[in-house]
Amino acid sequence: MKNQRKNPSRHVVEALEDRSLLSNSLLAVSISDGAAYEGNSGNSNMTFEIDLNAPAAQTMSVQYETVNGTAKAGTDYVYTSGLAYFNFGDMKSFISVPVIGNTRIDGNRAFTVQLSNSFSASIARGTGTGTIVDDDFPAVKISAVKPTASANGPVDGSVRISRSVTTNKNLKVLLTVAGTARPGIDYTKLASSAVILAGKAYVDVPIKPIAASAKVGTRTVIVTIKPSSTPTYVLGSVTKATVNITNKETVPPSAKLTSNPGIPAASASSYQVTAVYTDNSAMSLASIATGNLRVTGPNSYSLLATLVSKKISADGKSVTAIYSIPAPGGSWDASDDGTYTILVVASQIKDTAGNSIVPGGLGTFAVTV
């Protein structure tokens, strides 16, 4: 019997079919991560790449769907689902998810895109993370809330770093420090950053002088806000603040009234009060004088108290002063009844370093004739 010749074309087709089946059985699909700035309005697209590990042997598809994370569909992005297709020979397919723009300071948020129901391929990496990058940043500025510090004491100074919008996230602000004061010698070295805590509008950074062993002139600490490299904030209107460190004692004296005698008889022409002034170092006896205190009361009464006597303590840190307050019209009567307020006059009572008692109310007394 004569041998039958085999059809070579049939062998080629069978070989191709076998190779196609083998290729499809080894195909695997993966999705990459995506990221996009949110923008201030409208929608912008975030792109995800879906890859095959080898060229597609035939048309194939894989299903995808977005899933909420810290980013929410309808608020931060548009819910998206569908099929990603690969034609013969393709290794890549791309899908887009619309990101919703806004001007809120939300911080970065994320959602995922999940693959499923792949046709003719396994799923190697089925979840891609989409990061919406917040491009609305708070403005950060700085001010010297305590611009004078002293190595005598020592007494701290401080700068305040504040942000334009308070959020529920910590904000790290980068700093540089310069000036004539020497870190570690004249003041405690500052960190290269400061953190405004979640829910807070500002953080105060203390400038802590180191007690001086010798008299030196005033030195400066200049704190400057550096731009954010991430970014997480923008520079505000003021980016630099200066604190002066001096050897001068800077704590002002304090004042208080002692218990006062009752209002004298209606015929009395004055009323006396006793005040005690105290300083952490030494009071200036010369600064205690008539004009230290102003008294206001009913019927537009407003007069300066007259100093009667003063006595400094043995250590020089306190002065006891007695003042006389003149009665309206020359003597107290029923028309003078009411509450009288005793006020410390500005730049009057001082310590030997020249620090003045903070002006304002010192106390009150009532007149009932």
- CA–CA separation, 216 and 259 (whole Å): 44
Give residue 367's pLDDT. 87
- CA–CA separation, 142 and 204 (whole Å): 10
Give residue 260's pLDDT. 63
Q: What is the mean pLDDT of the chain?
A: 89
- Whether 4 is covered by a domain: the verdict is no
- Let me know whether 271 and 322 are in one domain: yes
Domain containing 74: what range?
Answer: 23-133
- Whether 13 is covered by a domain: the verdict is no
SS (H, E, C) the chain: CCCCCCCHHHHHHHHHHHHHHHHHHHCEEEECCEEEECCCCCEEEEEEEEEECCCCCCCEEEEEEEECCCCCECCCECCCEEEEEECCCCCEEEEEEEEECCCCCCCCEEEEEEEECCCCCEEEECEEEEEEECCCCCEEEEEEEECEEECCCCECEEEEEEECCCCCCCEEEEEEEECCCCECCCECCCCCEEEECCCCCEEEEEECECCCCCCCCCEEEEEEECCCCCCCCEECCCCEEEEEEECCCCCCCEEEECCCCCCCCCCCCEEEEEEEEECCCCECHHHCCCCCEEEEECCCEEEECEEEEEEECCCCCEEEEEEEEECHHHCCCHHHCEEEEEEECCCCCEECCCCECCCEEEEEEEECC
- Let me know whether 206 and 120 are in one domain: no
- CA–CA separation, 209 and 207 (whole Å): 6
Q: Which of 133, 161, 179 is the last residue of a domain?
A: 133
Give residue 261's pLDDT. 58
Q: pLDDT of 18-62, one tens digit each?
A: 444 434 558 999 999 999 989 889 999 999 999 999 999 899 999
Q: pLDDT of 164-197, one tens digit each?
A: 988 888 999 999 999 999 999 999 999 999 999 9
- Which of 14-23, 79-88, 100-109, 279-288 has the weakest average pLDDT? 14-23
Are the CB atoms for 193 and 174 separated by under 8 Å? yes
Q: pLDDT of 343-355, one tens digit each?
A: 999 999 999 989 9
Give residue 169's pLDDT. 87
Burial class (CB in 10 A: 0-12, 13-18, 19+), 286: exposed
Q: Which of 133, 150, 180 is the last residue of a domain?
A: 133
- Let me know whether 152 and 81 are in one domain: no
- Whether 6 is covered by a domain: the verdict is no
- Whether 2 is covered by a domain: the verdict is no
- Let me know whether 318 and 228 are in one domain: no
- Whether 263 is covered by a domain: the verdict is yes
What is the reported pTM? 0.53
Instruction: Specify the CATH number for the domain of residue 196.
Output: 2.60.40.2030
- Let me know whether 261 and 356 are in one domain: yes
- Whether 113 is covered by a domain: the verdict is yes
Asked whether the predicted pLDDT for residue 137 surpasses 90, the reply is no
Q: pLDDT of 227-247, one tens digit each?
A: 988 778 989 999 999 999 998
Give residue 22's pLDDT. 38
- Let me know whether 225 and 312 are in one domain: no
- Whether 14 is covered by a domain: the verdict is no
For the chain, the residue count is 369
- Let me know whether 129 and 143 are in one domain: no
Asked whether the predicted pLDDT for residue 91 surpasses 50, the reply is yes
- Let me know whether 33 and 108 are in one domain: yes
How many distinct structural domains can be found in the chain?
Answer: 3
- Let me know whether 166 and 94 are in one domain: no
Q: Assign 265 a pLDDT band (cuts: 50, 70, 90).
A: low
Structure tokens at 291: 């004009």
Asked whether the predicted pLDDT for residue 8 surpasses 60, the reply is no
Are the CB atoms for 304 and 252 separated by under 8 Å? no
Structure tokens at 107: 């911080």
- Let me know whether 157 and 237 are in one domain: yes
Q: Which of 230, 246, 262 is the last residue of a domain?
A: 246
- Whether 360 is covered by a domain: the verdict is yes
Asked whether the predicted pLDDT for residue 268 surpasses 90, the reply is no
- Let me know whether 177 and 223 are in one domain: yes
- Let me know whether 54 and 157 are in one domain: no
Structure tokens at 215: 């008299």
Instruction: Specify the CATH number for the domain of residue 354.
Output: 2.60.40
Residues 6 or more apart whose CB falls under 8 angstroms from that of 214 comprise none
Residues 6 or more apart whose CB falls under 8 angstroms from that of 194 comprise 161, 172, 173, 175, 203, 205
